[in-house]
Structure 1
Amino acid sequence: MGIKSFQGARRQQTSEVEATPLKVSDYMTTTLITFKENQSIEDVMQTLVKNRISGGPVVNDSYELIGIISETDCMKQISESRYYNMPLQDQSIEKYVTKNVDTIDGNMNIFDAATKFIESKRRRFPIVKGGKLVGQISQSDVLKAAMKLQGQNYK
């Protein structure tokens, strides 16, 4: 009688990672809450609070990215309004928009995006294609992607 092996039949190794989407564009948000430069600070703050977001992209009428407005930007305006005794409802966000904005390529690997988040200390990155805003990826989007990929070998 021959020796019996306790090792089960080996499956053909398939590359699950290759079948799993790893690009930023696979996890980015495409339905965005956007703002215009001429919007009032009060309107922007209401939108941020109502939608439980910490900021969002500012676009022109052609949906080209102008910048980002964040809770921190709004706080700066609140502070200045109090200092100069100016009502908030009369103020637009134009001078508080962060205009020098880093973007991420939708084709970037999700792990490279995680590294970019760590290095930049940003909470969100817009994705622009052909000059137009097409999406946004946040730190929580990267975390969701990691959860979907959990247990797989990352190569």
Structure 2
Amino acid sequence: MFKSVKVRDYMHTEPVTFSPHMDLFKAIDLLVAHRISGAPVIDEQGYLVGVLSESDCLRGILSGSYFEEACGSVGAFMSEVVETIDADADILKAAAHFVERGRRRLPVMEYGRLVGQISRQDLLRALKSFNEHGAPKKG
């Protein structure tokens, strides 16, 4: 029943993104301001080159503290190996990925380009909404 619901139907189409050259503290400010745990990093041509997570930010702060210097750029601390999901994948595939891999968010790709981001919260909202409008409630 959920298999006909696509990731593209619930993804954020204008996610917060970072440049590899952005100052790490500016990126941290954006994560906090938008109340998100991470975001895609894209190059000047708009290609996905990494993901910056809260853990990456903490690593950067600790590294800077250890060497008593400014943290540096997003590119110095981002994760370059990025798990993604296709925009046309069903939301159950995304849910399984979140559960099996312990991820909080996934960049959404279409024809090799970043078109959005989907989070566990997005999926919970989708599944709750679907249950309220289509599936019988138990209890």
Fold match by TM threshold 0.5: yes
Give unmatched runs, 5+ long, in structure 2: none
Distance 1:58 1:38 in 2: 10
Distance 1:112 1:69 in 2: 23
Distance 2:70 2:7 in 1: 41
Equivalences, count: 135
- Residue 24 of structure 1 aligns with which residue? 7
RMSD over equivalenced CA pairs, Å? 1.9
Distance 2:28 2:53 in 1: 9
- Residue 87 of structure 1 aligns with which residue? 70
Distance 1:131 1:111 in 2: 22
Counterpart contact for 1:65–1:128, Cα < 8 Å: no
- Residue 89 of structure 2 aligns with which residue? 108
Give the letter for the 2:85 counterpart: I
User: Highest CA radius of gyration, 1 or 2?
Assistant: 1
The Cα offsets for residues 66-111 of structure 1, whole Å up to 9 and x where unpaired, read as: 11001110100111111111123xx112121111111111111111
- Name the SS of the counterpart of 1:125 in structure 2: strand
Give unmatched runs, 5+ long, in structure 1: 1-16
- Name the SS of the counterpart of 2:41 in structure 1: strand
- 4+ residue runs over 6 A deviation: none
Give the letter for the 2:92 counterpart: F
- Name the SS of the counterpart of 1:149 in structure 2: helix
- Residue 30 of structure 2 aligns with which residue? 47
- Residue 96 of structure 1 aligns with which residue? 77
User: Normalising by structure 1, what TM-score?
Assistant: 0.81
User: Normalising by structure 2, what TM-score?
Assistant: 0.90
Q: Which residue of 102, 111, 114 maps to 1:121?
A: 102
Task: Give the % identical residues.
Answer: 36
